[in-house]
Amino acid sequence: MTAEADGTPLLPPVLQAYPYPWDNAFIWTSEKEDEETLAYARAVLEACLPPEPLTVAEPPAEVAVHASSEDGYPEWTEIRTVLRERMPYARHVTAERMADAEAECARRGLATADFEEVWTRRITAWIAEQTLYWCGLMVDDEAALTPWLMDLAELYAERGTAAVKAVGALTCTRSVPESRAALARLARHEGLPAEIRELVEDGRS
């Protein structure tokens, strides 16, 4: 286990307690569907939800670039590597470590505009993605998710954070009326990007 955080936390307490690496999408899958775990998943999603729609692009999803690609990996993946080295767990996401990561990225000639804001938001979104994925795909007791998961997933899609995984959670639980209703409302939502709208329509079909 890595050392405890030192410095000024950038994430709320419930996320500081997040026990998995923030960049690992599959650790949740080993969790039991007990009341305590579901309550924590809900608390995480509530804490990660932005108060209003984002005005900038959604944090990028994981990418797979073949070694033979001429373009190589996008720049943000190198920045993420720097962050992983300095703050592998949510409890390590502090102002001081973020400043150290920013300095290293600047030294490498990487983009550092609004660094703390951008990367705190992206780490938060990745945590939300992992949690939405687990709730939607891995939890068999859909009654235990109703209606809070559907309500939160709809808000995530509307606000442009972890939208792909949010729509995925609704699609995986569409046997529940609340999920079908949320997908129907999202289909009428004018602010959705085209790619998210397409996922919504696929989820309804």
Q: What is the pTM of this model?
A: 0.90
The 3-state DSSP class for residue 79 equals helix
3-state helix, strand, coil in the chain (%, to 5): 60, 0, 40
Q: Output b/e per residue, 140-157; b: 16+ Cβ within 10 A.
A: eebebbeebbbebbbbbb
Sorted by where each begins, the domain ranges of the chain are: 8-50+65-127, 141-205
How would you write the pLDDT of the chain (205 residues) with one tens digit per residue?
344 557 999 999 999 999 999 987 667 777 788 999 999 999 999 999 999 998 876 666 666 555 445 667 788 989 999 999 999 999 999 999 999 999 999 999 999 999 999 999 999 999 999 999 999 999 999 999 999 999 999 999 999 999 999 999 999 999 999 999 999 999 999 989 999 999 999 999 8
The pLDDT of residue 26 is: 66
